[in-house]
Chains A and B, each alone.
Chain A
Amino acid sequence: AQSVTQLGSHVSVSEGALVLLRCNYSSSVPPYLFWYVQYPNQGLQLLLKYTSAATLVKGINGFEAEYKKSETSFHLTKPSAHMSDAAEYFCAVNTGGFKTIFGAGTRLFVKA
Chain B
Amino acid sequence: GAVVSQHPSWVICKSGTSVKIECRSLDFQATTMFWYRQFPKQSLMLMATSNEGSKATYEQGVEKDKFLINHASLTLSTLTVTSAHPEDSSFYICSASFSGGGNEKLFFGSGTQLSVL
A105 vs B4: C-alpha distance when bound (angstroms): 15
Is the pair B105, A100 in contact by a Cβ cutoff of 8 Å? no
A90 to B36, CA, bound (A): 15
Are A94 and B41 in contact (CB-based, < 8 A)?
A: yes
Inter-subunit contact A98/B43 (CB<8 Å): no
Binds A, one of B21-29, B68-76, B80-88, B89-97: B89-97
* A88–B66 alpha-carbon span in the complex (Å): 31
Of the listed residues B49, B95, B104, the one surrounded by the most CB atoms of chain A closer than 10 A to its CB is: B104
Asked whether A97 and B40 contact (CB < 8 A) given A43-B46, A44-B34, the answer is yes
B44 at the interface (CB under 8 A from A): yes
Chain B contributes a number of interface residues (CB within 8 A of A) equal to 23
Give A48's nearest chain B residue, CB to CB: B43
Rounded to whole Å, the gap between the CB of B19 and the closest CB of chain A is 15
Question: Which residues of the partner chain B approach A43 to less than 8 Å between Cβ atoms?
Answer: 34, 36, 46, 49, 95
Instruction: Indicate if B106 sits at the interface (CB-CB under 8 A).
Output: yes
B33-78: which residues lie under 8 A (CB-CB) from chain A?
34, 36, 38, 40-41, 43-44, 46, 49
B32 at interface by CB-CB < 8 Å: yes
Name which of A36, A94, A96 has the most chain B CB atoms within 10 A of its CB. A94
Contact check, A44 vs B113: say whether CB atoms are below 8 A apart.
no
Contact A94 B36 (CB under 8 A): no
B94 to chain A, nearest CB (A): 11
A51 engages B44 (CB within 8 Å): no
B43 touches A99 (CB 8 A): no
Q: Which listed residue (B34, B44, B49, B105) contacts A46, Cβ 8 A?
A: B44
Docked complex Cα distance between A105 and B97 (Å): 13
A61-103, CB < 8 A from B: 88, 90, 92, 94, 96-100, 102
A99 close to B106 (CB less than 8 A)? no
Question: Which 4 pairs from chain A and chain B are nearest by CB?
Answer: A98-B91, A43-B46, A46-B43, A43-B34
Interface residues of A (CB under 8 A from B): 32, 34, 36, 38, 40-44, 46, 49, 51, 88, 90, 92, 94, 96-100, 102, 104-105, 107
Can you list 7 contacts pairing A with B, beta carbon distance less than 8 Å? A36-B44, A43-B36, A88-B104, A94-B38, A98-B40, A99-B111, A100-B44
